[in-house]
Chains A and B, each alone.
Chain A
Amino acid sequence: MIASLDRIITIGRATLVEAVRQRVLSVLLIFGLILVGASVFVSTVVTPGLDAAGLFDEQIKFVKDFGCGAMGLIGFAIALLSTAQLIPQELHNRTIYSILAKPVRRGEFLLGKFFGVVLLLALCVTLMSLAFAAALYWQEQQGIAFAHGLYDQQMAGHHTPEEAKAIEAQYQKDIQDIVGKVRDPQLIEAILLIFAKLVMTGAIALLISSFATSSIFTIVTTFMVYLIGHMEGVAREMWLSRGADTTVWQSAMVGLLSMIIPDMNSFTIVDEILAGNRVPWEHTFNLLGYAGVYTIVLLAVSEVIFRFREI
């Protein structure tokens, strides 16, 4: 058991090193870091100057949306590209033969490869999260500078001690609000959910590449599954409600889709977090659990297909 785990970890580490050396993925990651960092410029372009409290809310919303959006988009591209070429590349370079000639089971090889992709995704998400944190910090400083300027302006006139106290208290509250909006601990939930969705996407790509003969087929099919996954909820609803207008074929089709395709749309709960609404940790754990179990099932199916594949 430990020997098997060792082999999986070794293959995973080799996959990570191999992926890091690939220029396409590095360029994608750099592009992602730039995109996340650029979110502050988007917000500044939209709302130049901060002349009202509402504008800070808008700016922080744009930074969060674009930051997490870039993380999801670039992460998706990395998950897709890195996983899609795992098996085809090994077959093309014929390295798979020398690996499988050693005492390595096919399942271990597959799990090791996927473990490498998960490590790669974790690295990318961590780096992009750091860039995101830097962008948020910059935005926070802008907000604080504005609140400070407003405070100086208000204190410049003549005030009674009570009025001065009220202005001081309002200033403290404004700073608290700004810091509270920027340093929202719920953003950790958002990043975890983005990561879980990426891992699930990688697992779908691995499943498809376990029987596909080309990377292009895997990329296109995974992308389609990903898109359909965002509509799976509609199909499930239609299948479960079985309206009078639904024919047997339609019902069978949406039923099949509901049973196979993962519900990607549930992960758009990230939007709620970014909008500043509270999403309980229990719900996040439920979604993370769903993603985890789904990934295990996808890996199990991939293993079965790959075990019987003629190489």
Chain B
Amino acid sequence: MIGLSLSRRLQRALLVALLLGLWAPVKVMWEEGISREQNDLRYQGMTITRQLRDQLGQGLTIGVLSGMRNVVADFIYVINVTLAWENQEWFRMESYINLCTTLQPRSIPFWDGGGWQLAWNASVGAMRDVNQPTKLRRLHASRYWINKGLDVYLRGIANNPEHYRLWADTGQLYQQRLSDFPKAAYYYEQASLRPDCPTYYERFPAIMYANAGDEQASYDAWVRLWKRLTPSQRAEPLHQGDRIESNIRRLEKKLSVPPEKRIFPN
């Protein structure tokens, strides 16, 4: 009886081992293939490091390990970033923003909102900080947070180069917070070359160069835009072809562009 029972157990164990043994190499190869595909898709997962685990705490780490990474990141953004912003705890807020962007590097709203929180809210907060004894120190602190916001945008671009929003955000930061119009023009132009970018951004580079006082660069930007648009696009109200044309005509006159080099010789 015992012998029979043992043989049944052995039989069962052998069958299970055989099934799993046959499946294991296929499984590993298949998973490797999926992993390769996900890398090719630029899907960047994250690995739990000790630092990340300490930042998350036990509960949220289990959440991340349960495949709820996006919900955990949203939760941190909704609760912790908002609370830190309300309490004007800028360093804490920065650390939570970095945590959210680490958990979801391909989620644009975290980069977009995080950079804005630092470069606008934190920097303006630092400028109004009455605990700082001198204006110079306030300016220094304000500039520190603008640079932190810029850093968030640039890391966001490195992770999502195909998305227009972060390029546009960086352009806006250079324009509004640093008054560096040529750099703003560069980032706006990059944004306008990305898919789904609102059409008004395509006119921003020329306007930024004009703000910087560089009319030649502004003219070049208008011309580049004019050449980029197809005749049918120029006729669409969203692209405002007539406005582009009038600016080119105005600058051709003002810069005395030789007739043979003009876009509109007449």
* A interface residues (Cβ-Cβ under 8 A, vs B): 42, 45-46, 53-54, 57-58, 61-62, 65-66, 68-69, 72-73, 76, 162, 165-166, 168-170, 173, 177, 197, 226-227, 230-234, 236, 240, 258-260, 262-269, 271-272, 274-277, 279-280, 283, 286-287, 290, 293-294, 297, 300-301, 304-305, 307-308
Contacts and interface: CB of A to CB of B under 8 A. Distances in A.
Given A57-B165, A275-B104, A301-B16, 17 more contacts: A54-B109, A57-B112, A69-B68, A73-B66, A162-B242, A170-B198, A177-B196, A240-B28, A259-B28, A260-B20, A262-B27, A266-B35, A280-B41, A283-B34, A290-B30, A304-B15, A304-B16
B109 A61 contact: yes
Interface in B171-207: 196, 198-200
Contacts of B37: 283, 286
Interface size class of B (residues with CB under 8 A): 35 or more
Interface class of chain B by DSSP: helix
Contacts of A169: 236-238
A147 B241 CA distance: 24
Given A57-B108, A259-B24, A173 B238 contact: yes
A97 B56 CA distance: 49
B11 A236 contact: no
A268 B43 CA distance: 10
Interface of B: 8-9, 11-12, 15-16, 19-20, 23-24, 26-28, 30-35, 37-38, 41, 43, 45, 47-48, 62, 65-71, 74, 77-78, 82, 104, 106-109, 112-113, 116, 165, 196, 198-200, 236-238, 240, 242
29 contacts: A45-B78, A57-B108, A65-B70, A69-B70, A197-B67, A227-B66, A230-B66, A234-B47, A236-B28, A236-B32, A259-B20, A263-B31, A263-B34, A263-B35, A267-B67, A268-B45, A269-B43, A271-B107, A275-B108, A277-B41, A277-B106, A280-B41, A283-B34, A283-B41, A293-B26, A301-B19, A304-B16, A305-B16, A308-B12
Contacts of B113: 54, 58
Contact of A275 (B33, B77, B106, B200): B106
Interface class of chain A by DSSP: helix
A73 B237 contact: no
A240 B20 contact: no
Nearest to B24: A259
Contacts of A162: 237, 240, 242
